[in-house]
A and B are shown apart, each in its own frame.
Chain A
Amino acid sequence: MAKADFEIPELKEFPEVPPVVPGTMAHSQPFIAKPEFQESLNFPGELVDDWHDKAIDAMGDLLGKYRSLQVYLDSCVKCGACTDKCHYYLGTSDPKNMPVGRQDLLRKVYRRYYTFAGKYFPKLVGAVDLTKEVLDDWYTYYHQCSQCRRCSVFCPYGIDTAEISMAAREIMDTVGLGSKYNNEIIVKAQTIGNNLGLPEPALVDTLGGLEEDLLDDTGLEIKVPVDVHGADVLLVTPSADFFAEPHIDGLMGYAKVFHAAGISWTLSSYASEAANFSMFIGSYANMKKQAERIRKAALELGVKRLVVGECGHAWRVAYSFWNTLAGPFDFLDPNYPVPQHIVEFTHQLHTAGAIKFDKERNDGKVLTFHDSCNVSRASRMGDKPGGQYRLPRDLLRASCNNFVDMPRETIFESTYCCGGGGGLLTDDLMEVRVKGALPRMEALNHVIQENGVTHMAAICAICKTQFAKVLPYYGMGMDQIISLHQVVGDALVLGTPNQ
């Protein structure tokens, strides 16, 4: 079991809603971004002297730009429906991690400066001045929200805490208070082209190594092409796929699918990142900048289709926002959705009979599937609502004999976050990551005990990294989390090697 300098929550057979214990996570803050990174994103380098007025102005600006923010700050009736829905509350007992508790950190300031009741009767409606303590609370608790939107499923008005936490982070960035993890990554993606900061030569080298691995494994010359002009498909995938386990097995899985289907494809060294962390900090302008890199790459390479690899929030940005941010994509083949998820791509090939699986090759595994938040609650796959749940499961069932779902209240639209989403996947937030993973760990433990599940497949780079890290804290193996396309790739019938 991994060592920790904090208490690891106990796995219970039936999840329990803990009693309120104020302040348990008040000490948890991410490192603050360095001035150089802040400035390259057009934010002040450090906390400005007139942060108070600037923050109130920034709030007013966002209220005029985002209907979600305006309506959600007004509409909450404090019914409590969301209070037991956040994995961070369930794992930490801190009431400021209840969705409404988190929203209220911003709402009470909104009321004070922007509503009649809060201006004249602040105590009555719980409105407060923006003080340094309040700003500190914002930095603390808006970095304990993974923007997973589980609360928005259960709110009678659809209030989405992700919208509030994005706005709060944008306000903080505007006054010079950004998180190191997010903002440094965004700069890397905007300058080098990917979150890892992997320059083109290193990328080409890495992919060459992968081709060798694929040759060793299969005896086939399966390519992982980069910057190939005129390829049919541009694959944009999270850069973790180039580098980390278990992501890299997923990338090899995609390569096998392309190979088996005989469809030409390429990666781009210029747009070598599907992730778009600008969403996490609520920055429309930066999010647009990152999305435009992909449009540019698609145009320059002259591809016909855009396919997105396994990444949760990237799929949200791609599916829901690309058309808005960097569209229209009318230069691509209109016979395919733009963009297409790699799961949609593989599913279509399998349905058409263009690829075949030998399920028995996965007989050593009993699999379950983790629905990623952004895929589940902020996007779709296929033509019908809910395709984002059906398609990945179709692929898993087609490529293995042993598949079991976790309890219904922990999957589909009710899925629990891995605990590391929304820009929290950093070591300085390890405690909240481990504690926030509790509900998912309980659900996984349930199917391990009841059904002998050996592996959990996922389609999100953040989920995979997070689980690889936190599974050991709960006494499970870091290798129990795998890429969906690893399962697919292992079962894929590739034909006999050319001798």
Chain B
Amino acid sequence: MSFLTVAFAALFYAATLLLVVGLARRISLYWRTPAPLKIPTTPAPVTQGGVVLRMFREVVFFESLFKSTKWTWLFGWVFHMALFAVLFRHLRYFTEAESIMAVVTFVSPLFKYLAFAMIIGLLGLWGRRLFVDRVRYISAPSDHLMLLLLLLIGISGAMTTFVAHTDVVMVKAFFRSLMTFSFSDMPNLPNDPFIVVHLLLVAVLMIIFPISKLLHAPGVFFSPTRNQVDNPREQRHIADWARKLEQ
């Protein structure tokens, strides 16, 4: 095995561990922290089913952002949806299941071009961050770097597909042996610069996910203004720490 292969194997184990443990701890923190008062932003659904629907609209269509600003919505929504499509296509590197492979193969010819949509979305978001004075004012260096990171991931990935084809069979074999812990038959990673950069940056993204603003992904599901049922007159709602104040 090449040094590169060993290094990336170690890196991806570490990154996966940090991502999973970090996210699990954060989600468990959100789960355990009580919401002592009913604070849904109204009008809010009056049933649990309605809340599920509201959350669905929020995470799939970015409903609130759409109401807010059409440009940010357009770039943000295009970026996220393209990202999910591209990620879905990446399943082919991780699974042998024929049914999934069939679907991935079927959508691939279209989905692979969504990398461009993703890049355009990111550029649009960065443009707003650079040129709208209000958004520029609130941006920290990390906000710019996050966009740079995602852009470089998108561009390097697109390069491996559209410019300098990487030996995807070898990449897949590498990740399959990582997943199955079968190191004896682990192939060397292709030595192409684009795939090396791509994988390195993906690992960085995984590592910073639980310690950055990417926490908005689990956060939205725990947002009390979005996930609470509007029924305070019908149901008494009381947190444990607040119960102690009862006489």
Question: Interface of A with B (CB < 8 Å)?
Answer: 17, 19-20, 22, 63-68, 70-72, 74-85, 95, 98, 100-101, 104, 115-117, 121, 123-126, 149, 152-160, 163, 284-285, 288, 319-321, 323-324, 327-328, 337-339, 376-380, 383-386, 388, 413
A125 / chain B contacts, CB cutoff of 8 Å: 140-142, 212
Contacts of A284 in B (CB 8 A): 36-37, 242, 245
Q: Name the B residues within 8 Å of A81 (CB-CB).
A: 64-65, 68-69, 72
A323 to B236, CA, bound (A): 6
A-B contact count (CB 8 A): 216
Across the A-B interface, the 4 shortest Cβ-Cβ residue pairs: A75-B219, A126-B140, A385-B43, A154-B68
24 A-B pairs (CB sep. < 8 Å)? A64-B33, A66-B33, A75-B213, A75-B215, A75-B216, A78-B140, A79-B65, A79-B135, A80-B128, A80-B138, A81-B68, A85-B68, A95-B134, A116-B211, A124-B140, A125-B141, A153-B67, A154-B67, A156-B58, A156-B220, A157-B220, A158-B224, A284-B245, A388-B42
Give residues in B with beta carbon < 8 Å to A.
Answer: 26, 29-30, 33-39, 41-46, 58, 62, 64-65, 67-69, 72, 76, 125, 128-129, 132-135, 137-143, 145, 208, 211-213, 215-216, 219-220, 222-226, 230, 232-233, 235-239, 241-242, 245
Flag if A153 contacts B224 (CB, 8 Å): no
Interface contact A155-B38, CB-CB below 8 Å: no
Q: Given A74-B219, A82-B68, A324-B242, 20 other A-B contacts at CB below 8 A?
A: A20-B134, A65-B241, A67-B224, A76-B216, A79-B72, A83-B138, A84-B134, A115-B211, A117-B212, A121-B142, A124-B140, A125-B212, A149-B225, A152-B225, A153-B41, A158-B64, A159-B223, A320-B38, A384-B46, A413-B43
Which residues from chain B contact A79 at a C-beta distance below 8 Å?
Answer: 65, 72, 76, 125, 135
Contact A98 B138, CB 8 Å, known A71-B30, A321-B37, A385-B230: yes
A338 to B226 alpha-carbon distance, docked (Å): 24
Question: Given contacts A67-B35, A158-B220, is CB(A321)–CB(B232) below 8 Å?
Answer: yes
Contact (A158, B226) CB under 8 Å given A98-B138, A152-B41: yes
Task: Verify B46–A71 contact, CB threshold 8 A.
Answer: no
Q: Which residues of B contact A68 (CB under 8 A)?
A: 35, 39, 223-225
Residue of B nearest to A383 (CB): B46
A149 to B223, CA, bound (A): 14
Q: How many angstroms from the CA of A81 to the CA of B143 in the assembled complex?
A: 15
A124→B140 CA distance, assembly (Å): 7
A319 to B239, CA, bound (A): 17
State the majority secondary structure of interface residues on B.
Answer: helix
| Smallest beta-carbon distance B240→chain A, Å | 10
**Across-interface contacts of B125 in A (CB, < 8 A):** 79
Q: In the complex, which residue of chain A has the Cβ closest to the Cβ of B29?
A: A70
Given A71-B30, A117-B212, A158 and B42 contact (CB-CB distance below 8 Å): no
Residue of A nearest to B213 (CB): A77
**Nearest chain B CB to A62's CB is how many angstroms away?**
10
- Docked complex Cα distance between A388 and B137 (Å): 36
Q: List chain A residues, Cβ under 8 A from B220.
A: 75, 156-158
Q: Contact at B33–A157, with CB atoms within 8 Å? A: no
Q: In the complex, A75 Cα to B224 Cα: how many Å?
A: 13
Chain A residues whose CB sits within 8 angstroms of the CB of B58 once the complex forms = 156, 158
Distance, CA A22 to CA B137, complexed state (A): 9
Give the complex CA separation of A430 and B219 in angstroms.
37
In the complex, what distance in Å separates the CA atom of A339 from the CA atom of B69? 37
Shortest Cβ distance from B222 into A: residue: A71
Given known contacts A117-B142, A124-B142, A378 and B42 CB-to-CB distance under 8 angstroms: yes
> Which residues does chain A contribute within 8 Å of B208, judged by CB atoms?
117
Closest chain B CB from A4 CB (angstroms): 26
- In the assembled complex, which residues on chain B have CB atoms less than 8 Å from the CB atom of A153? 41, 64, 67
Pick from B36, B64, B140: contact of A156, CB under 8 Å: B64
Question: In the bound complex, what is the Cα–Cα distance between A338 and B235 (angstroms)?
Answer: 11
